[in-house]
Amino acid sequence: MTLAGKTIVITGVSSGIGGEVARLARFHGATVIGVDRNDAMLTLDGFIKLDLGSTEAIDAALLLFPDKIHAVVNAAGVPGTTDKDLVARVNYLGLRHLTEALLDRMPKGAAIVNFASILGAEWPKRVDIHRTLAKTNSFAEGQAWLAANPAPQETCYQYFKEALIVWTMMRGHQLFLERDIRMNSVAPGPVFTPILGDFVAMLGQDRVEADAGKMKRPALADEIAGPVLFLCSDDARWVAGINLPIDGGLAAAYL
């Protein structure tokens, strides 16, 4: 796999998985532009400080992005222990708004990788709802739809990861047919990152202990980075509209 000559935008770059994706991308020859609301704590080729929960902030920052972008990795996100409206804005609506705004800078063969989660695995149970949300045309329209059809606070993280998987599949199919841009998502299981404790609090000790018996251990962040960058590479040029589990076989344990 080579990423030489590619410019990759990575959100959530200042910690956790986003940081590891950035390090590995630069190792493989990519020019990496990091995006985060917190200051960058690693070497990058460019950095844009940005709150993805605000359309105003996203729109104001667009002039700072490169004119040509070969891949976008949407790794930024907040845990379900925060307010559901913030989860909606950052994990879904803001991600979608930024991605759509950057499409015209992406040439044929470019790639987008969205970070979903193993916790989004039950999207087929709510596919009609998520399909309707995916068809909203803007951040504001999505917010209005969610105000009329609110997600439950206790499962908001799972809800918006499900919604992201559905949007990725639907929009990914369109983009590949119409623009030869590949959009996919990845679904990590538990990962040793600074917000792992939030997931324990969100899911509850019983669920965490039950899952612990089905897996070897949580992943390390660098174990997620390789598959993500494969999807950004030309080696994955015929992979579009999928949701790739990167969970150490955890999902298989539920069969």
pLDDT by residue for the chain (255 residues), tens digit each?
Answer: 789 999 999 999 998 999 999 999 999 999 999 999 999 989 999 999 999 999 999 999 999 999 999 999 999 999 999 999 999 999 999 999 999 999 999 999 999 999 999 999 999 999 999 999 999 999 999 999 999 999 999 999 999 999 999 999 999 999 999 999 999 999 998 888 776 666 666 666 666 666 767 777 888 999 999 999 999 999 999 999 999 999 988 888 777
Beta-sheet strands, E only, within the chain: 7-11, 31-36, 46-49, 71-74, 111-115, 182-188, 191-192, 219-220, 243-246
**157: annotated active-site residue:** yes
AA identity, residue 244: L
CB burial of 139-178 (b: ≥16 within 10 Å; e: otherwise) equals: beebbeebeeeebeeeebbbbbbbbbbbbbbbbbeebbee
pTM above 0.75, yes or no: yes
pLDDT of residue 29: 97
**193 in Cβ contact with 223 (< 8 Å):** no
What pairs with residue 34 in β-bridges? 10, 47
Q: Which CATH class is domain 7-241?
A: alpha beta
Measured distance CA(85)–CA(180) in Å, rounded: 33
The letter for the amino acid at 18 is G
